[in-house]
Amino acid sequence: MGLQCIPFRARHIELINPEWSDEMRNLAYFAQETGPGYTACLYGRPIGAGGLSIQRPGIAEAWTLFKPVIKMFPLWLHSQCVEKLNQFNWLDIYAQAESCNDRWMRILGFEISTEENDFINLNEGSTLYVRRKCG
């Protein structure tokens, strides 16, 4: 199949989308330094990335950057996401997504968050989700 998951490096975003803004590049370096991240590669070329940015003890924000081609591999993407998220069951993980992604977020174990928070700037049209830590 040619798919593999490797550790995320900020330079991967240039290969996923070279037209991203300086702000996105800065966020990629921040993400690289604040938590675990992974890059999906197809035949050695990055086609998506995602990870967790630790916000404070016990709380992380999930992030993703994808090329449209990654939609051709939904089962692989799902299994990789579940495997990686399960490694961090000691964290409450927050993520924002558009309503069209609600089903996928719920399959990954997220639920809509009803609480206020001071560390995620919610994008217009997005919903805040949370995946609670176990135990």
Domains of the chain plus CATH, in order, are 3-131 (3.40.630.30)
Whole-prediction pTM: 0.84
pLDDT of residue 42: 96
> b/e for 39-57, b at 16 or more Cβ within 10 A?
bbbbeeebbbbbbbbebee
**pLDDT value at residue 90:** 83
* Cα→Cα distances 11→3, 27, 48, Å: 19, 11, 12
Q: Token pair of 45, please?
A: 């070329």
Ranges of the chain whose pLDDT falls below 70: 1, 117-119, 135
56 three-state secondary structure: strand
The amino acid that residue 88 corresponds to is F
